[in-house]
Chains A and B, each alone.
Chain A
Amino acid sequence: MAVEFTIIIVFIVISIFISFAIGANDETFSTVHGSKTLNMKEILIFTTILAILGAFLLGRGVSETVGTKLFGSSVSEVSEAMVLTILISTSIWLIISSLLGVPISTTHSTIGSIMGVGMLVGEGLNGVNWIQIGEMSFWWILSPVLGFAATYGVYKLIHRTVINKLNGFKDFERLEKIFSYILLVTIAITAFSRAGNDCSNAVGIVIGLDAGIDINLILLVTGISFSLGIIVLGRTVIKSVGAITELVPSSAFASEVPTAGILFVGTFLGIPLSGSHMLVASLVGLSKARKAPRKKGLWKIILIWLLTFPMAALLAITLYFPIALII
């Protein structure tokens, strides 16, 4: 298939934009920052290396970017313009949320955009598969509940079996050091796989063009763009999530590891759990378990979460016609 040069450039730019937006909303390192295991400069260096490596080594497996099952019966075909509209509106909403320092679920933002495009193209409510959305909603509600409960339980367990037995600063020093290493390894694996997965979504649209572009180069560029997203805007999200409650390596471990574990099992079983929602809820669970006060900003996060569907849908409706005109 011969594809026009300008189209290729447009798609590459869009793919860079998407990876930047996803990177900008990446809260993976928030517990590392909150527990002061690494400072922001170290996090940015670390995350840049992991993002580029993850994109380059894992980004080849192009995953399904848009859930076509979510369109209703009145949408007979999913066009390129629809796909691009969904990706761009999702990315814009991700960037807006990142500017506000709020981590949102990329999946939720994508689904909001699908709903907008579906209703527009399908000329009404029939453009969206509401039964499918309803089924998924169950998991959206369950994600934070699971994050909260898992962290609450793990923290209590660690507290009862390990922390309660510590005696003196030196014991704490030793234990927290061990936890900080475990936390770093866990986060490194999460960041590495997340960068790979997210960049594969971003490059998917370029690969789909089948224009004979060197995939390694595209992966490298999107990897850099993903890390740039973290460097430019992601730091705000990392800081705000890490500040939800006071963290030390052991409590950061208690909130991060069960979340990562449940997310892994969820992905394996094909359950659409939201990592961002689980992490925020797990930090709330942690503050409950420690009976520690939460810092301000939680209500802003919840408000942005609630606005994700309507705002992403609205953005998609606004962007669809201009994009359809170009493509």
Chain B
Amino acid sequence: MKCVEMKGKNSRNIEEIIKEYRIELLHGAELMHKLILDFIKNKLNKKELDGVIKSEKKCDHLKDEYIQVLFQNKRALPFLVEDRYKIITLVDQVLGKVEYLARFIKIYPFDLYKDISEDFKKMCDICQQMITGLLETLELIETNFTAAYDKTFEIEAIRRPARKMKFELLGNIYKKKDEPTRIHLTSDLINNLYNIIGLIEDIADYLRGLIIKYPTR
């Protein structure tokens, strides 16, 4: 049934699909960013997190459609098909991790410690900046290797303080003599947020490798 549905949609251009995918991914990430800020301020309506989950599902469908169109084009260059496939699966993992964070926050039963909220907000801003940077790189890599290459370094530069911040945050909460469950879950929360940042950096590294590799093919 799913296959039949896909066939109907496959008349769509691959460019249209990827454009829609990027818009949806950005929408999901922006929503998550806004909701984390609400969470920090203790103003979060947990039902709104369903929006992130919905966005991830929509992106999943778009990814499947993209992959199907990608492999349907028999005359497409195999190495480009393989690389584009790898890119979309990697990017999809980012949204997968964003969705995981949304689900985690939904069941997180505590308020965030006040003394770490400022750094947590900074980490959240970094994550959002990196997602935006990644999407820009993905657009640039299609037409401008030089700009995309520079962008990957920008992503790396944005990531650098996040790592330091993560360990400072973890150090702070591990010192607390609070309920162990709260400490444990809060450290998971920080790790889950940092996992998104780490993955984006890995993707940026991979894209940089591709940019270097292409002219030597």
- A: which residues have CB within 8 A of B? 36, 159, 163-164, 166-173, 176-177, 180, 246, 248-251, 290-292
Contacts and interface: CB of A to CB of B under 8 A. Distances in A.
B216 A292 contact: yes
B77 A177 contact: yes
A249 B75 CA distance: 12
B80 A168 contact: no
Contacts of A177: 75, 77
Interface stretch (B41-49, B89-97, B138-146): B138-146
A120 to B, nearest CB: 51
B143 A290 contact: no
A36 B142 contact: no
Contact of A248 (B77, B142, B143, B146): B77
Contacts of B79: 36, 248
A249 B80 CA distance: 12
A163 B84 CA distance: 20
Given A36-B78, A177-B77, A248-B77, A172 B214 contact: yes
Best-buried of B79, B140, B143 by chain A (most CB within 10 Å): B79
A169 B80 contact: yes
B143 A168 contact: yes
Contacts of A290: 216-217
Contacts of B83: 169
B215 interface: yes
A190 to B, nearest CB: 22
A172 B80 contact: yes
A46 B150 CA distance: 44
Contacts of A163: 215, 217
29 contacts: A36-B77, A36-B78, A159-B215, A166-B215, A167-B144, A167-B145, A167-B146, A168-B141, A168-B142, A168-B143, A168-B145, A169-B141, A170-B142, A170-B143, A171-B143, A172-B214, A173-B80, A176-B77, A177-B77, A180-B77, A246-B217, A248-B77, A248-B79, A248-B217, A249-B77, A250-B217, A290-B217, A291-B216, A292-B216
Nearest to A39: B74
Contacts of A250: 217
Contacts of A169: 80, 83-84, 141-143, 214
Contacts of A170: 142-143
A323 to B, nearest CB: 47
A180 B141 CA distance: 22
A172 B213 CA distance: 12
A77 B141 CA distance: 70
Nearest to B140: A168
Contacts of A292: 216
A172 B143 CA distance: 10
- 8 smallest CB-CB distances across A and B, nearest first, come from A36-B78, A168-B143, A248-B217, A169-B142, A167-B145, A176-B77, A168-B142, A170-B142
